[in-house]
Structure 1
Amino acid sequence: MSRKKEVENVENLENVEKIESLESLENVEETNTKASKKDKNESTTVSKIDQIVNSVKDKGKIDYSELAAQLGNFSPEEMEKLFDKLEKLNIQVANETVDIDDEEPNIEDLEEVEDLDIEDVNIDTLEGISVDDPVRMYLREIGKIPLLSFEDELKYAKLSYEHDEAAKQKLTESNLRLVVSIAKKYVGRGMLFLDLIQEGNMGLIKAVEKFDYTKGFKFSTYATWWIRQAITRAIADQARTIRIPVHMVETINKLIRTSRHLLQQNGREPTPEEIAVEMEIPVEKVLEIQKIAQDPVSLETPIGEEDDSHLGDFIPDDDSPSPQDAASYTMLKEQLNEVLETLTPREAKVLRLRFGLDDGKARTLEEVGKEFSVTRERIRQIEAKALRKLRHPSKSKKLKEYM
């Protein structure tokens, strides 16, 4: 009886091992299938990105509207990869002529993309970003907003298309995490993180207003375009005291990245010549970009520990005369007034108008003639007579030392 039980236990153990082996094999096959599908999707995405890049490489520039027309089957993450590659190749994505209030991207050819799981957008992943209390409060609030399923998103998109304000608000609130995810990529470009989020939210609102579900593409892809557009335009318009065009901002960013790369590679600050070789542009262009990239400095910047002096106090005015010249000019003016007082009032006024002694603007004979209601010839005679009087040694000796 004991021998029979032992045989049964062995058989049961062999059956369990067979089942576990089959399950393990099925799991391996399932994993390999998923990995194969993932690799295939990634390969397809890379191929499409390369196709878009190659189509605009020769031009070196592409409009946002033109690019948007080629973004079929692209999720926001894939769009980010495309933009990063375009930026690395110095292909400018021009939005200079696009007005976020009026212009709509040409996206009629966009096809429906894969469902973007916004739950994957982790708003807590903010490494390297200084987050103060207002930002934390905002992130905490939007984290409480439930996300929409694809079916719910489509339902609210239809209602929004029919001008349902409540649906528009629901669609906007459910995509606020997408704005944060995009905005954090632009930190460090001259605007506060909360300001970037605010500008991105404006783009999201515009996307909700203009989204047309009947064209068959996903809202998140459409919204990503508007969010990026709003943020990049805000950076160009607001990040600097003196506005720099969008295409130049992109060029400056590339120069900064190139400089950092050469610094890490050589262990020292790169020269303009080295940067020019790396960027394949003339040295003069590098110097021009560096000059444009400089931040303006206020003349009221405090100097010293006591803050009793400012930068403007130490900057000379090259256009102002030296103290010696200013004193000589004042004395000349006084001597000239004394000499003119020896003439008749009419003669003195004619000379003052003809030579601009009062306001620096010299008048023609015709203009002075109109002032006195006489002919040009008569003014010429008065001027000649007055100058003869001034050439008398008793008067001219007072002015010769200033000549």
Structure 2
Amino acid sequence: MDTPDDVSIRNEVDETDNSDPEHFEEAASKGLSSDDPVRMYLREIGRIPLLTADQEIELARRIESGGSEGAIAKRKLVQANLRLVVSIAKKYVGRGMLFLDLIQEGNLGLIRAAEKFDYERGYKFSTYATWWIRQAITRAIADQARTIRIPVHMVETINKLKKITRKLAQDLSRKPTEEEIAAAMEITVSKLREIVKVAQEPVSLETPIGKEEDSKLGDFIEDKEAETPASSVTQDLLREDIIEVMAGLSPRERDVLRLRFGLDDGRTRTLEEVGQLFGVTRERIRQIEAKALRKLRHPNRSRRLREYIDD
């Protein structure tokens, strides 16, 4: 859940130029108290000068050599790119973690990038580090979403369930049934199922997947509400055929059917409602509707629409 400071910082950093330390510090200072930890952190890293491409390569070489000099070089490379972490972390605010926590997780990814950076490939360190920072943040979000607060007594029950299940599996040399587990725990099968349901660990939609882990599980979940391209085309064709079939009706008959079946706006009307719109009785509307439907049932007209029903 975002705090007001999280939202404020996100808005300020959106406007921050990472290449300008003074601008970064100025943007970080807006709207926050002087003792705010996020403000203090942003102000501190905003004073660290950025590196040139040649400086990055030199530090990478020293890191590769190892030893104390390599450790110092890694620290310098990481510190000079802390603002990159902030610019990436702000894009993930609102996904269940505080802004400062996102930054800390991103920093771990930055450190990993500094350790694995291959300067001989010719690309900038920031380009390489961005992937590691995003991976660290998305994994942390997934882990956070996977955490459930379970009452202490239920945790003990779940542990008992696991222990008994393992023992039964060993004794029976097979997977125990629900009835056997419930009997061993001295509870009903329905109660056992409730415990199992609580014990199940959910999978976060933020879980990184793919070889590069640059996609989220949620990207591949089908949206049942979304209309498929094939369905959309079918609906368009059906709409066109209905219009053509209804061309043989009188204007009043067409209007009555459109209102009764919601052909224009998806909202169906009662005989009473349509009658009020036309200033006639509901019985008169029923007669007009019946006559129009009889016309549509004629083989020459109904054949075109029957194809959609058969499909």
TM-score if structure 1 supplies the norm length?
A: 0.33
- TM-score, with structure 2 as normaliser: 0.42
